[in-house]
């Protein structure tokens, strides 16, 4: 990586693994539960957060010296909300189909605690370029978990991936269903996401015991 210094590169790579926003910082859990029943929704949400978090981080970072500390949370909220509304309007005008897929997530992005968390913890104290990288890194870390959870929930819950049947037809009993396999209806309801996230956290911490807090 000639483009980035080692320190800058770690802003992107850390959140992907040992400082993951979902599994380590435990931020953004609510949306991870809500929208991961389908892989497609997970991917769309990940991309939306990537955009809002990276641009929002830059905007907050540019304003960091003039934001009054008393109302900084409100200022952050306004920046997120404005960005999300602009994106939504532009998509509605120029990519109507896509905007319909996204509409469910608009509200969820504004309330996503990863975004406020990164503004507060990073962008307020760092320059625009580093904040941009931090936004990209954290959004990717968030997205990776979303996609993993979405993959297992859609595969085990509906027997499809991106809406395409991969295990056969459950009604006509073809493919895997012909030997008695059944979809697990539990996987498409939100508590299943908690279990999948829990397993990811378990795997991650048993591979790297340094992450385990001693209480």
Partner 1 sequence: MSINTDKNSYTVVFAAVMVVIVGSLLAFMSSSLKDRIAENERFEKQQNILYAMGVNENVDEGSVNFVSTDKVEGEFKTYIKKQLVIEGDQVSEDDHAYLIDMKKQMAIAKKGETPKLPLLVGEKDGETFYIIPMYGKGLWDAIWGFIALDKTMTVRGVYFDHKGETPGLGANIKQRYFMDDFTGESILKGDEYVGITVAKGNNDPLNNEKDDNEVDALAGATITGNGVSAMIKESINLYKDYLKTVSAK
Q: Which residues bind partner 1 (CB under 8 A)?
A: 34-35, 37-38, 41, 65-71, 74-75, 78, 82, 85-86, 89-90, 92-94, 96, 103-104, 153-154, 157-158, 163-164, 171, 185, 188-189
Nearer to partner 1, 94 or 215 (CB): 94
Cβ 62 to partner 1 shortest distance, Å:
13
| Three-state DSSP state, 114 | helix
Q: What is the DSSP letter of 160?
A: E
Complex with partner 1: residue 12 or 154, whichever CB lies closer: 154
Please state the closest distance from residue 128 (CB atom) to partner 1, in A: 19
> C-beta of 165: minimal distance to partner 1 in Å?
9
CA distance 208 to 210: 5
Q: Which is nearer to partner 1, 97 or 213 (CB)?
A: 97
How far, CA to CA in Å, does 153 sit from each of 163, 168, 173, 175, 197?
12, 16, 20, 19, 11
**How buried is residue 214: exposed, middle or buried, by Cβ count under 10 Å (0-12/13-18/19+)?**
exposed
CB of 90 to partner 1, least distance (A): 7
């Amino acid at each position: 990586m000639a483009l980035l210094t080692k320190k800058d590169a770690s802003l992107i790579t850390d959140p992907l693994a040992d400082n993951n926003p979902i599994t380590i910082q435990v931020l953004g859990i609510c949306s991870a539960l809500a929208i991961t029943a389908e892989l497609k929704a997970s991917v769309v949400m990940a991309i939306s957060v990537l955009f809002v978090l990276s641009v929002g981080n830059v905007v907050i970072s540019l304003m960091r010296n003039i934001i009054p500390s008393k109302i900084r949370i409100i200022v952050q909220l306004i920046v997120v909300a404005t960005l999300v509304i602009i994106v939504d309007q532009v998509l509605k005008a120029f990519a109507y189909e896509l905007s319909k897929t996204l509409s469910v997530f608009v509200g969820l992005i504004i309330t996503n605690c990863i975004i406020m968390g990164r503004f507060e913890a990073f962008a307020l104290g760092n320059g625009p370029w580093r904040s941009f990288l931090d936004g990209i890194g954290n959004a990717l870390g968030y997205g990776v978990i979303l996609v993993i959870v979405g993959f297992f929930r859609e595969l085990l819950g509906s027997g499809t991936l991106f809406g395409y049947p991969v295990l056969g037809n459950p009604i006509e009993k073809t493919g895997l269903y012909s030997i008695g396999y059944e979809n697990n209806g539990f996987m498409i309801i939100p508590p299943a996401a908690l279990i999948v996230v829990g397993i990811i956290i378990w795997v991650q911490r048993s591979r790297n015991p340094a992450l385990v807090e001693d209480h």
